[in-house]
A and B are shown apart, each in its own frame.
Chain A
Amino acid sequence: MFDKKVIRRRRAALAIFVALSVALLTAYFGESGGGFLHAIQRGAQEALAPIETGASRALKPVRDLFGWFGDTIDAKDENERLKREVERLRSEVARSETARRDARELRGLVGLQREEGFPQGTRPVTARVIARSPTVWFSSVKIDKGSNDGVRLDQPVIASGGLAGKITSVSAGTAQVTLLTDASSAVSAQVMPEGANGIVKPEVGNPRDLLLDFVEKGRRVTEGTTVVTSGFTSSRVESLFPRGIPIGTVTEVDLDEIELYQRVHIKPFADLRRLDWLQVLTARGRPAETAGVLAP
Chain B
Amino acid sequence: MIVGPGAFLRMAALLLLALVVQLAALGHGGLLGGHVDLIPLVVAAVAYYAGSISGCATGFAMGFLVDLAVGQTMGASSLVLTALGYGVGRYREVRDPSHSLLPVAVGAAATAGWVVVFAAVSFMLDIGATISPQVIGDMVLTVLLGALLALPVFVGTRKLLRPSLAVDPFETRRRRRPPRETGPLGLRGLEV
- Chain A interface residues toward B at CB < 8 A: 1, 9-10, 13-14, 17-18, 20-29, 37, 40-41, 44-45, 48, 51-52, 55-56, 58-60, 62-63, 66-67, 69-70, 73, 129-138, 140, 142, 168-169, 176, 183-185, 201-206, 209, 211, 273-276
Contacts and interface: CB of A to CB of B under 8 A. Distances in A.
Nearest to A213: B130
A183 B74 CA distance: 17
Contact of B60 (A20, A59, A136, A202): A20
B23 A136 contact: no
A215 to B, nearest CB: 15
B71 A169 contact: yes
Contacts of A135: 72, 115, 118, 122
A264 B34 CA distance: 26
A28 B74 contact: yes
30 contacts: A1-B93, A13-B56, A13-B57, A14-B52, A17-B82, A18-B79, A20-B78, A21-B76, A21-B82, A22-B79, A27-B75, A28-B73, A29-B125, A55-B21, A66-B26, A66-B31, A129-B28, A131-B24, A133-B27, A133-B70, A133-B71, A134-B70, A136-B35, A168-B71, A169-B71, A183-B127, A183-B129, A201-B130, A204-B127, A204-B129
B25 interface: yes
A40 B68 contact: yes
Nearest to B20: A55
A130 B69 CA distance: 11
Q: How large is the interface on B (under 10, 10 to 19, 20 to 34, 35 or more residues)?
A: 35 or more
B129 A41 contact: no
Among A37, A59, A138, A203, the one with the most B-chain Cβ atoms within 10 Å of its Cβ is A138
A24 B74 contact: yes
Q: Which 6 A-B pairs have the closest CB atoms?
A: A205-B135, A24-B75, A25-B75, A206-B132, A59-B25, A21-B79
Chain B contact surface mostly: helix
B153 to A, nearest CB: 14
A184 B79 contact: no
B68 A132 contact: no
A202 B4 CA distance: 47
Given A52-B24, A59-B21, A273-B29, A204 B135 contact: yes
B171 interface: no
B83 interface: yes
B132 A203 contact: yes
Contacts of B118: 135, 137
B126 A184 contact: yes
Contacts of B103: none
B71 A45 contact: yes
A202 B129 contact: yes
Contacts of A10: 52-53
Given A52-B20, A129-B28, A206-B134, A17 B71 contact: no
Nearest to B134: A206
Given A66-B29, A183-B128, A206-B132, A41 B71 contact: yes
A12 to B, nearest CB: 9
Interface in B76-96: 76, 78-79, 82-83, 86, 93-94
A129 to B, nearest CB: 7
Nearest to B19: A48
Contact of A273 (B30, B39, B53, B60): B30
B168 interface: no
Contacts of A142: 23, 70-71
Given A17-B57, A21-B60, A59-B21, A203 B131 contact: yes
A193 to B, nearest CB: 27
B78 A131 contact: no
B73 A70 contact: no
A184 B115 CA distance: 19
